[in-house]
Amino acid sequence: LKEKIFVEADKQNTIAPLKIWSAACSTGQEPYSISIIAKEFQESKPGRLKGGVKVVATDISPTVLANAKSGIYEMLALGRGMSEQRLKKCFSSLEDGRWQIKPEYKTSIDFQLLNLMEGYGRVGTNLDVVFCRNVLIYFSPELKRKILVKIHSVLKKGGYLILGAS
């Protein structure tokens, strides 16, 4: 994302935001990670990605989506791969030992309830990047195909679809 997609988007020198969809975002770690990486890219290269990044984060579960919107996590959830420096920069510690994402990392994310088997109208069109990781394993081959065809219909030509290894 940082070394290829953001660099390519920046070369286009557009003021339009880079549109990213985090499908099946669960409790929000993925869209917040995207937001953090985007902010770090812009800070390391001032004036780059002029339009910024807009993330639509969807999930079928209202409960996990509410957790995602809160941006509050146990240390166990954050300790996997997050440096202490990034933790302190991007999160505030709460009195109960949990951590909350700072507001500036929330502003670029629009959380929405969405079933991947239904329409994607609210997600938008001409998306630059779609993350669809760790969800297709729950579908039959035929349903996977249908979902991927629908995702393709909202992805712009030359856009990226990022899948999980499984």
What is the per-residue DSSP string for 78-117? HTTT--HHHHHHHEEE-TTS-EEE-GGGTTTEEEEE--TT
- Say if strands 109-113 and 18-22 run parallel, antiparallel, or are unpaired: unpaired
**What pLDDT, on a 0 to 100 scale, did the predictor assign at position 11?**
86
Q: What is the pLDDT of the chain when averaged over all its residues? A: 94
User: What's the confidence (pLDDT) of residue 45?
Assistant: 84
Of the chain, the percentage scoring pLDDT greater than 70 comes to: 100
What is the average pLDDT across 99-119? Answer: 96
Burial, 32: exposed, middle or buried (Cβ in 10 Å; 0-12, 13-18, 19+)? buried
Confidence of residue 14 (pLDDT cuts 50, 70, 90): confident
* Predicted structure pTM score: 0.94
Amino acid residing at 121 = G
Domains and CATH numbers, the chain: 16-69+106-163 (3.40.50.150)
Lowest mean pLDDT among 20-29, 73-82, 154-163: 73-82
Is residue 54 within 8 Å of 18, Cβ to Cβ? yes
Q: What is the pLDDT of residues 44-92, one digit of tens each?
A: 988 888 889 999 999 999 999 999 999 999 998 887 778 999 999 999 9
Rounded CA-CA distance 11/8 in Å is 5
Q: Give the end-to-end CA distance of the chain in Å, rounded to a whole number.
A: 19
Q: pLDDT above 90 covers what percent of the chain?
A: 81
Half-sphere exposure (CA, 13 Å, Cβ side) for 10? 16
| Residue 142 pLDDT | 96
